[in-house]
Homo-oligomer: A and B are copies of this chain.
Amino acid sequence: MCGHPQKIEPRSGVAFTLKRGQRLTVIDPEGEQVADLVAFVRDDIDEVISSGRTIDYASRLFLTTGDPIYSNRSNVLLDIVEDTVGRHDFLLTPCSADTFRIIYGDEHPHRGCFGNLAAALEPYGIGPDRIPVAFNVFMHVAIDGTTGEIAVKPPLSRAGDRVVFEAKVDLIVGLTACSALQSNNYAFKPILYAIADPA
């Protein structure tokens, strides 16, 4: 990692370009904090990370060091090159006002990671309908393989844990400090990220 990490404030999000070969480090500075990550091909935003393709090709729900993240066109957009936690989620869409209304019963819901991503990606011409299932860094979703029941648990990440991604093509990345109570063990914390050029 080179340069000072950037901070994503609690319950907010950012978007930025990540060039081919650059590495993105996502850090949980306090522990038990999720970061939703989405990525689009910079030169053609209709190509986007795909949970369905990635899980199919990996034959595994849980991704970690060495696993590629595929696009809807079956190209590798990112490789996971370092992971100090080993448990993340690639099943669920970013939390949204609807999530908080439907799951939590909030009458005046926060816009959630979905709203934060939509706002951050809007300057890149990416509309909210294009936001896919996110790679939810540090998110811990327990799965009962027999019943199919899932449960959102506190992240396994502790202060300083990190995941490093390498871009295989020029990308537009959206990244949040997640806004859902359950996902972050009922405390909203920041996320740090840093971008490093190839060695």
Whether A92 sits at the interface, judged by CB under 8 Å, is yes
CB-defined contacts of A124 to chain B, threshold 8 Å: none
Which residues 33-79 of A have a CB within 8 angstroms of B? Answer: 46-47, 50-53, 55-57, 59-62, 72-74
Which residues 87-132 of A have a CB within 8 angstroms of B? Answer: 91-93, 96, 98-99, 102-103, 127, 129, 131-132
Which residues 168-191 of A have a CB within 8 angstroms of B? Answer: none
Given A46-B129, A143-B145, A145-B142, also A55-B91 (CB < 8 A): yes
Assign chain A's interface to a size class. 35 or more
CB-defined contacts of A51 to chain B, threshold 8 Å: 51-52, 91, 133
19 contacts between A and B (CB under 8 A): A46-B129, A51-B52, A51-B91, A51-B133, A52-B93, A52-B133, A55-B92, A55-B150, A56-B93, A57-B103, A59-B151, A60-B147, A60-B150, A61-B91, A61-B150, A72-B93, A73-B129, A74-B98, A142-B145
